[in-house]
Amino acid sequence: MRSAEMGRLGSTSLRILAVAAVYYGAAQVGLAQQLVRDQVTPLWPPTGVALAALLMMGMRVWPGIALGAFLVNVSLGPSLIAVLAITVGNTLAPVCACLMLRRAGFRNELDRLRDVLALVFLGALAGMLISSTIGSGVLVLSGALDASHFWPTWSVWWTGDAMGILVVTPFLLVLRTARWPSRAGPGRWIEAVALALGTVLATLLATRTPGSNLLFLVSPFLMWAAFRFRLAGAAPCALAVSTLAILAAAGDQGPFVGEDVFANMVTLQAFNGTTALTALLLAAVITERDRTHEEIKRVCARLAEVVSQMEPRPDSYEYPPEKHPPP
């Protein structure tokens, strides 16, 4: 019994360290596009990593989130107390989001419309209020941020954390259940490659063309991904589109040329939010439609079987007695 407990403890410890390492690595990616100070970015991938880890591994890995958040902020924060407070906010936000999702009956497969809506409203919009409020408040109280910049910083922090949930969490949940399609024919592979290349090229054209706003060009590829590949295609495409858009905004390219930080943030986050919602909602609706269609087919098959059992067989049919005319 003792060895079994030690094994479980060792496995949990390894998972906590793995979560901390992935959280830290995702934070370094996010910090490459900071807009307000160092802690605030338009897309904060660690929140998506944290929520996905809690949904897949359970609440026991929350220390990994806290450890990763502390290591990220210890070199950025103005003081140790401020770093600890920001770490608490960054840990509480995904934990509370996970608890709310579980309370709402959320399923990791994201194959129902209600799951996508729960992820948007409970996981992203409501849950990330905690980290943005605590983080921005701590920066103001510590003197690292002027009080007049609280709301701009809060809005960027909140939307960045929310985008991390909407873009990164679905991708990781899909990645967990991804399997190599053994029965996919050459046509399917050609279509997948064409979708990937088309999505990247259309996004580059939309976000790098100077003097014009062509962001709408991406929508057909998101629809294509959702209709043909469901969430397995929609989630990676949404992640790729959002990443390329953020790189364009950070480089002051395409529709983001000549605008101030606030205007770029509004355009960028509106585009990223629309991208994520379009991909996830379409994928969920189509998956539900497919499941309903299969259920109707099964019901019809059972009904046909019952009807066939009720029909009398020719060998069991009782013929009426033959009548003879009176002599």
Question: Which long-range contacts does 226-230 make (Cβ < 8 Å, 24+ apart)?
Answer: 226/278, 226/279, 226/282, 226/283, 226/286, 227/282, 227/286, 228/191, 228/195, 229/192, 229/195, 230/283, 230/286, 230/287, 230/290
* pLDDT value at residue 252: 77
How many CB atoms sit inside 10 A of residue 301's CB?
10
Q: What token pair was written down for 52? A: 């996905």
Q: Per-domain residue ranges for the chain?
A: 1-177, 187-308
Mean pLDDT of 27-35: 78
Contact call for residues 278 and 219 (beta carbons, < 8 A): yes
Fold of 1-177: Arp2/3 complex 21 kDa subunit ARPC3 (1.10.1760)
Summarize pLDDT for 142-162 with one digit per residue, the tens: 888 888 888 888 888 899 899
The answer, yes or no, to whether residue 45 has pLDDT greater than 60, is yes
Residue position matching structure tokens 């830290």: 24
Q: Which residue has the higher pLDDT, 226 or 180?
A: 226
Q: What are phi and psi of 40, to 5 degrees?
A: -120, 120
pTM above 0.75, yes or no: yes
DSSP calls for 126-158? ITHHHHHHHHHHHHHHTTSS-GGGHHHHHHHHH
CA angle, residues 11, 13, 19, in degrees to nearest 5:
105
